[in-house]
Structure 1
């Protein structure tokens, strides 16, 4: 049980708010809101700011903080209170229930310094931030269906503030809003905050991925609101949040302050009339940012087919990013389980687009579940496959599923077997290409029985891939991949060539990578093969059907 010292009577109260509404990261009571609403919002803000400043006071003892917060809550109980912030809130006639919930978070701030997992951190955000959105929804008579999106936005804003303020929170309050097991992946708390620690970036990016997921869940909020003014403010807030997210991805909040600029605010307000990008536009941006060879294959499609394939790709990219992220295995499995639930009840831009694609082109949900199952394999802290059937099952899940989904979107559902087989071949190429990178994650996809047959015992992944017999196994897998490409080439004439043009484009690129690895070999240094600029241009030309580029 946490020990709380007796209250001090000489602790100085916060003399004035640490910041005003126009100094916050995101709009509080901007001119976008109706004039009659703004005083109500400001009364709520003043109460919450005063309470938050108590919880964040750098020298006040925990018991004194809790006593002062209890006093503020008693003011919420009494409409005739002399407590000034509570009196203004009563006069405004709104917000006392939401303020009470936020007080529970500020009390927690008085004693809780570290977090055990992401769920604990999210629970804090549901009490320290989500009530703000709910109060605004209620003030504007918003439909109940907007609540999940508003909650996601408020949680995302709070997480961004925490990541932005990692250093000042730790220095002045000995408080860190990033779970301890996450920091452990960068060497522990002290190492995480060491300015020259290169492992911190991956942990920060994993946390920012969770923020982006929350913003994707919030993306439809402006379109769910009946109040045009609140919709406009929501659009501005989401745009600013995405801009701060981008800044935190590009810079390190541990080595320097990362903040929004005046031009960021100007652009967000200037672009608010469109109520933000559509789900399809959000997915398109995600695909463009990834810049993969899969995206080049998608260039062969137009209209709804391209949109559907983008959705499939964004889904695959999202679950793959979870499996590869620098976060504890238990967290990865939790987020993958959330994706399983989202297949039934879409909750964000990507899952809504995927649901549309499934409905429009008859993509089986079982194939999406197979992909998630494959990512659950990848989520393990230490990955080993026992035998060849386990490797085949893994390839079937993570790549065959993509093939089975894609051929339906291409307009050739009869080619499902072709898609499954080609997907397996692509995955063998991926495994061969990434043996050293995977070893750094303690992943070995070469089955243990193949290793044993080559006289290689199980052990640290980095040692396995350096064993003399490992190169021979890679050469054997490369021959299997070559045979897979040859079989696919022989089977292609049995299907509509135009429909399967994207598959042919990708097959060309993957075969080039494989042949480059075969020529390089697997002994000694294994430089990662890449397509040249000319080869990428040729793939683009193939996708467009330019004669002579097939």
Structure 2
């Protein structure tokens, strides 16, 4: 069979995301279909199981040459050539796709996230660039369009991880990430669901970040029909990400339902009928809602501007903490933290993320000391280590200052009490001690021990696997001493509050009281009979709400 007569493996309606939906104009839709047919032909060549790599490369070369010349012998190439002559879009982008398909012909593994996203830059992003050029859109849409296309591509990689591996021996998920789950074989082993889920969630965390970056795309588009399709596509991407979090794509293919597609289509039509606007505040507020943190009670007591600012601070903290705790290689974690360092450094120029834009606004309004963001990132670097041990009290104090004191200092600027810096740092240290005591077993599972080795040595304990240390009866006595320090820290905070404006520090006070209750429950439970992570009860939360009302 000649190349131009090859039967396509898929049709536009078989794809996970809209290809040439009815919301586009007829002329543009025909051009998109021409682009799709060419891309589908090239993709089918790269994925053909009965062709060797050399034959695939030769066919892709011929296909690209036919595109450049508009060879009528290959209708898919000739039609796209004609589209490019009419609209000035298609040729460059399709040739980038051919570059990606050449990689598929010879490459079956990707080492890390950077290598994967570099592949997406030629296998997915050109599709968005083609649509933008076809509709005469501004370059300001390129960044968010690239983010969306990369997100869609990686969602498809997760969605198809099992058939890609079985049919083509091709795995797009980074090899180094799979090693966290024990390697490729262990990752795809049906019984290893929990290990696989940790890695998949790490991938989806990065995808969700890309989707968040893409949410400004509709407001940057002038063509109402393209705007409608972008809104629908964003909705479908979010929906598929949520489904992939709740289902296991290594066991069954996860799909978007017809109801999901219909709802996204209606959302797109509704969005096209009015000026588009993204709300970065939705993203930071959602991070707070998902957390379930007791700090939410204190946030609600703030004015609208201050609440919006503390949401930004909290979302940033949550984001970098999730990176440090994720099931990723330690060097990948550090790379992602460094991306946040660069984002902090450009806050007052051109932040690229929704959280960054909200932090920039908060910094402008409340003069946030952004060095504290870097201090927090320094603390997260400690958590990125594959094995965490603190040598002595100085190391503990330094770590606490970075991961908790930094948050306290940022918060008091938002609260309107910047002179309470000493109080914020000392309270942050106390809250971190409670965190350490509360999360002993959870941290031990990650091979982390935050109680200094010098303290353990006083009780005859020496460095060992974290689970061994945490289960030793002598470890409980060290915990008792640390609990006494935390109690003393709360007493010192009470005394400091007598000299400060307690009303402006109400969110901090509510946070302090939440943690004091946790400490009381930890002490009452004892240190030798730990059973899971202790949480505040519903009664505790009601009492804290009452405290907030009385303090209002």
Is contact 1:433-1:517 (8 Å) kept? yes
Provide the rounded CA distance (Å) in 2 between the counterparts of 1:533 and 1:260.
Answer: 36
Map of 1:467 onto structure 2: 472
Map of 2:82 onto structure 1: 91
Provide the rounded CA distance (Å) in 2 between the counterparts of 1:226 and 1:336.
Answer: 35
- Say which SS state the counterpart of residue 59 (structure 2) adopts: helix
Map of 2:152 onto structure 1: 157
Map of 2:186 onto structure 1: 191
* 1:400-411 equivalence runs, <5 A: 400-411=405-416
Provide the rounded CA distance (Å) in 2 between the counterparts of 1:497 and 1:384.
Answer: 37
Is contact 1:12-1:60 (8 Å) kept? no
Map of 1:200 onto structure 2: 196
How many residue pairs match? The answer is 538
Determine whether 1:367 maps to 2:368. Answer: no
Determine whether 1:34 maps to 2:29. Answer: no
- Say which SS state the counterpart of residue 292 (structure 1) adopts: coil
CA shift for structure 1 position 62: 1.4
CA shift for structure 1 position 12: 9.4
CA shift for structure 1 position 185: 1.4
* 1:121-136 equivalence runs, <5 A: 121-136=116-131
CA shift for structure 1 position 223: 1.3
- Say which SS state the counterpart of residue 338 (structure 2) adopts: helix
- Say which SS state the counterpart of residue 465 (structure 1) adopts: helix
CA shift for structure 1 position 222: 1.0
* 1:316-465 equivalence runs, <5 A: 316-345=317-346, 346-465=351-470
Cα offsets for 1:524-547 (capped at 9, x unmatched): 44443221111112223333x247
Map of 1:478 onto structure 2: 483
Provide the rounded CA distance (Å) in 2 between the counterparts of 1:536 and 1:59.
Answer: 63
Q: Residue 260 of structure 2 is aligned with which of 252, 264, 269?
A: 264
Provide the rounded CA distance (Å) in 2 between the counterparts of 1:295 and 1:184.
Answer: 37
- Say which SS state the counterpart of residue 37 (structure 1) adopts: helix
- Say which SS state the counterpart of residue 498 (structure 2) adopts: helix
CA shift for structure 1 position 80: 4.5
Is contact 1:75-1:86 (8 Å) kept? yes
Is contact 2:70-2:79 (8 Å) kept? no
Cα offsets for 1:306-350 (capped at 9, x unmatched): 111111111100000000000100110000000111113321111
Map of 2:66 onto structure 1: 75
Q: TM-score, normalised by structure 1?
A: 0.95
Determine whether 1:118 maps to 2:113. Answer: yes
Query: Which segment drifts farther, 140-149 or 271-280?
Result: 271-280
Query: Which segment drifts farther, 106-115 or 24-33?
Result: 24-33
Is contact 1:297-1:539 (8 Å) kept? no
Provide the rounded CA distance (Å) in 1 between the counterparts of 2:4 and 2:446.
Answer: 50
Map of 2:221 onto structure 1: 225
Q: TM-score, normalised by structure 2?
A: 0.94
Is contact 1:287-1:314 (8 Å) kept? yes
Is contact 1:299-1:540 (8 Å) kept? no
Is contact 1:75-1:87 (8 Å) kept? yes
Is contact 2:117-2:150 (8 Å) kept? yes
CA shift for structure 1 position 479: 0.9
Query: Which segment drifts farther, 290-299 or 261-270?
Result: 290-299
Query: Which segment drifts farther, 484-493 or 374-383?
Result: 484-493
Provide the rounded CA distance (Å) in 2 between the counterparts of 1:540 and 1:96.
Answer: 61
CA shift for structure 1 position 100: 0.5
- Say which SS state the counterpart of residue 230 (structure 1) adopts: helix
Is contact 1:239-1:276 (8 Å) kept? no
Provide the rounded CA distance (Å) in 2 between the counterparts of 1:269 and 1:77.
Answer: 35
CA shift for structure 1 position 468: 2.7
Determine whether 1:54 maps to 2:45. Answer: yes
**Which blocks of at least 5 consecutive residues in structure 1 are unaligned?**
1-9
Q: Residue 8 of structure 2 is aligned with which of 17, 25, 38?
A: 17
Cα offsets for 1:70-124 (capped at 9, x unmatched): 1111112213453221100111123111111111111111111111111111111
Relative to structure 1, is the Cα distance of residues 435 and 101 closer, same or farther in structure 2, using a 3 angstrom cutoff? same
Q: Residue 176 of structure 1 is aligned with which of 147, 171, 178?
A: 171
Is contact 2:39-2:97 (8 Å) kept? yes
Map of 2:104 onto structure 1: 109
- Say which SS state the counterpart of residue 50 (structure 2) adopts: coil
Is contact 1:182-1:203 (8 Å) kept? yes
**Which blocks of at least 5 consecutive residues in structure 2 are unaligned?**
none
Map of 1:5 onto structure 2: none
Query: Which segment drifts farther, 95-104 or 281-290?
Result: 281-290
Query: Which segment drifts farther, 456-465 or 15-24?
Result: 15-24
Map of 2:243 onto structure 1: 247
Map of 1:487 onto structure 2: 492
Is contact 1:14-1:53 (8 Å) kept? no
Is contact 1:216-1:350 (8 Å) kept? no
Is contact 1:117-1:179 (8 Å) kept? yes
